[in-house]
Structure 1
Amino acid sequence: MLLSVIRITQIIMTKAVSSDDIYKDIRPYHDHEVPAVLKRLANDQRLIGALAQFKFPRLNRFIPTLTRRVIRGYLNGYVKKVNGVDDVQIRLTSYIQRTIETTTESLTYEGLSELDPKQAYLFISNHRDIVMDPTFVNYSLHLEGFPTARIAAGDNLLSEQYIGDLMRLNKTFIVRRSISNRREKMAALTKLSRYISESINDSCSIWIAHREGRSKDGLDKTDSAVLKMLQLGQRPETKSFALAMQNLKIVPVAISYQYDPCDAMKAHELAVKAQTGDYQKAPGEDTRSIVKGIMGNKGRVHVAFGQPLDEFSEDSGEMALIIDKAIHQLYRLHDTNYAAADLLVGKECEALNADALAHIQSRLQGLDEAERQQLLAMYANPVLQKQNWETAAEKTFIPTNRAS
């Protein structure tokens, strides 16, 4: 009898644990998981090799065994000093500060004075860089005393186990994009949406891009499919799409870079796609984009936080336009944007854009004509897009409904 009671208790406890952790495969790591994950990373040969090549390229070339031994020793020493997610983020802060100091001319931000540090928000932003977009958002939040947001990242970026581990240690949750089965994909999207909604309800802010993948062409347009996904987790309780959007406390965010370290890579991809209709990424290409985006010169960077949306529509397309309008109004244009717009139409650049013109022209070197046009367009499109929105979009956009 006693054994039966114990067995029943074990079953109940097992079910409770599993039901309480239904997001285990996509959520960030919890504090109690951090030591084991770090121990695994400290002995991951691919991570050790990548760090050795990155930190000591010449030394690693001639004496790789010694170089990797040094890296392994550093990682094992790091593991002993970290006990939870907050420790990871605190240690990352100093690295982010150094990265900003060495790869940007300045980082500025605005709008956080209008938000409440005690309130959780769904930050929906335009998307230009895989890692640095959410990094700049979270760093700005940190500087103003806000809790950092949980970060959405596609599983296409997790080509290696250690990459997924590193991201999930830093409050990243996984968007399953590689699922092909329709039923499984819908289940995964519903689970993701529910996780986002529950995070907001649990006072944890979320950062998510307004479309899948980066806006490589510089055209920032919200994908209505992303917004439809966000409603899935609130069904059947909330059948109103507008009310579901209101429940998420959406804050539009616009991130702009004076220089894009990945501009030539993006221009090549866009040119190939325009010529052939398709582009297949080479193995490790996303990883190279991540490294280049982190380490490359970004010039001036600006992050603009909008106010929480108070305008909603039952139509997902119109809801996307509401977000687009906010992002375009918040977006800060740089001199490189204006210089590229002038070059694209053969207009002589103003003296104000002389340095920007020199930078753009240097980025065009080594590119073929199709790639040159793509690179100019990606810098120029924010100018044209903002002008078009100000003159035409406001006249044609009429929300069909508001959430009450």
Structure 2
Amino acid sequence: MMGEFEAIRPYNDAEVPAVLQRLLSDDAFLGTLVRFRFPRLAGPFGWLLRPLVAHLLAREAKGIRSVNELQDRIEPYVDRTIEHATDGVSYSGVENLQPGRPYLFIANHRDIVMDPAFVNYSLYHARHPTPRIAIGDNLLQKPFVSDLMRLNKSFIVHRSITARREKLAAYQTLSAYINHSIRNDGQSIWIAQAEGRAKDGDDRTDSAILKMFHMSRKGEPFAEMVRELHLIPVSISYEYDPCDQAKARELQIREATGEYTKAPGEDDASIALGITGYKGRVQIHFGRELTGEFSDAKQLAAELDRQILGNYRLFPVHYLAYEMSTQRDPALAVPSAASLFKGEELLRAQAEWNRRLAACPEEQRPFLIMQYANPVLNQYRLKQAEAAA
């Protein structure tokens, strides 16, 4: 059975030592580490630092024989990176998870690497197994990136295929792999609710992804597939998005010209900024398992959206942005930031928000405001709909 997943699956325990050895002799990987660790010295002394970094890594990797051992070993570094770039990570809703049950975690998508990293962080610290992570092949330009991700329980989503028949076959394999992982291997999966990040802050589940889950189970009712996969909606809330300026620029150019072409290396820059950039506070919320009788993808998407948007944590900056937004809706009765937050917290948020606005070119500002205002709009629309129901 695993043969059909050969091209996309994560590495298994038996493969770990060989892949680690391959990474230790990969020049591109060592060069990237040197640039990250010693940015000033990387140019003139890169040739000297590479063997040193390889030696330190070999010492660090000694005796690692399984994926779990690898995750245990790198966890302190991940924690340090996470804690260095945030004002604290909190998580809630883990009581909704039953020990020993594999889940399909479906989350909103703001950051390429950090979304699944924060979900992993929360589950690891709550003593739940970490999931296998869906990652687009557009991010795996270099072989070492693919090795690193597959070592860390990532499986590959072939996004760059354009031919219709091949695309269909790739989705069929992906569907079969996700079902196999949860039903046969008892291993959880993390996947984003839509392809690509929600650059405008409007988190919506793409029903095409939900239909894909069912592609390899066409013989069984849609509702049965939903029950068997144990779907958990996950809300990932960032106080500040390190890539907000870049997203505003892209949205503005797209609106003005009708298209946006990424520059070479732009994804790499987004990944680096997303990992190291300041995020303020971060909150991860695990919603309730979807157990209703869902007859189609549209119904399922609506419930995922209800939980993901409803459990999104709104910080002072979201209300400050909403107050400036042209999309304000008087019918929603959204309270002001000043009425909800007090003293130091509010002052800090105002200063940070003003700093971000000042750094943003005027024509791009409406798109920066939109990113932070949309979660408010979505949550209060939801409240209004529930009150009317």
TM-score category of the 2 structures, normalised to the smaller one: over 0.9
Per the alignment, residue 180 of structure 1 pairs with: 162
Match of 2:101 among 119, 122, 127: 119
What amino acid is aligned across from residue 380 of structure 1 in structure 2?
A: A
Q: Distance in 1 between matches of 2:306 and 2:235?
A: 11
Q: Distance in 1 between matches of 2:92 and 2:101?
A: 17
Contact 1:141–1:147 under 8 Å retained in 2: yes
Aligned length: 376
Q: 1:395: Cα distance to partner?
A: 5.5
Q: Does 1:378 align with 2:378?
A: no
Q: Distance in 2 between matches of 1:310 and 1:81?
A: 43
Per the alignment, residue 215 of structure 1 pairs with: 198
Per the alignment, residue 323 of structure 1 pairs with: 304
Contact 2:321–2:373 under 8 Å retained in 1: yes
User: Structure 2, unaligned stretches of length 5 or more?
Assistant: 329-334
Q: SS of 1:67's equivalent?
A: helix
Q: Distance in 1 between matches of 2:114 and 2:267?
A: 14
Q: Distance in 2 between matches of 1:341 and 1:235?
A: 44
Contact 2:323–2:336 under 8 Å retained in 1: yes
Q: Distance in 2 between matches of 1:83 and 1:243?
A: 38
Q: 1:394: Cα distance to partner?
A: 7.5
Q: 1:269: Cα distance to partner?
A: 1.1
Q: Does 1:388 align with 2:381?
A: yes
Per the alignment, residue 401 of structure 1 pairs with: none
Q: SS of 1:381's equivalent?
A: helix
TM-score, length of structure 1 as denominator length: 0.89
Q: Does 1:313 align with 2:294?
A: yes
Superposition map of 1:5-404 within 5 A: 19-201=1-183, 202-236=185-219, 238=220, 240-345=221-326, 350=338, 352=342, 353-392=346-385
Name which one, 1 or 2, has greater alpha-carbon Rg.
1
Q: SS of 1:230's equivalent?
A: helix
Contact 1:193–1:232 under 8 Å retained in 2: yes
TM-score, length of structure 2 as denominator length: 0.92
| Cα-to-partner distance string for 1:3-52 (whole Å, 9 max, x where unaligned) | xxxxxxxxxxxxxxxx5422111010011111111111111111111111
Q: 1:348: Cα distance to partner?
A: 8.4
* Residues 366, 150 of structure 1: alpha-carbon distance in 2 compared, 3 angstrom cutoff: same
Q: SS of 2:236's equivalent?
A: strand
Q: 1:54: Cα distance to partner?
A: 0.9
Q: 1:349: Cα distance to partner?
A: 5.8
Which 4+ residue blocks in structure 1 deviate beyond 6 angstroms? none
Contact 1:343–1:349 under 8 Å retained in 2: no
Q: Distance in 1 between matches of 2:13 and 2:214?
A: 29
Q: 1:101: Cα distance to partner?
A: 2.2
Contact 1:349–1:357 under 8 Å retained in 2: no
Q: SS of 1:189's equivalent?
A: helix
Per the alignment, residue 12 of structure 1 pairs with: none
Q: 1:77: Cα distance to partner?
A: 2.7
Q: SS of 1:151's equivalent?
A: strand
Q: Distance in 2 between matches of 1:284 and 1:78?
A: 29
Contact 2:316–2:337 under 8 Å retained in 1: no
Contact 2:67–2:152 under 8 Å retained in 1: yes
Per the alignment, residue 332 of structure 2 pairs with: none
Contact 2:106–2:191 under 8 Å retained in 1: yes
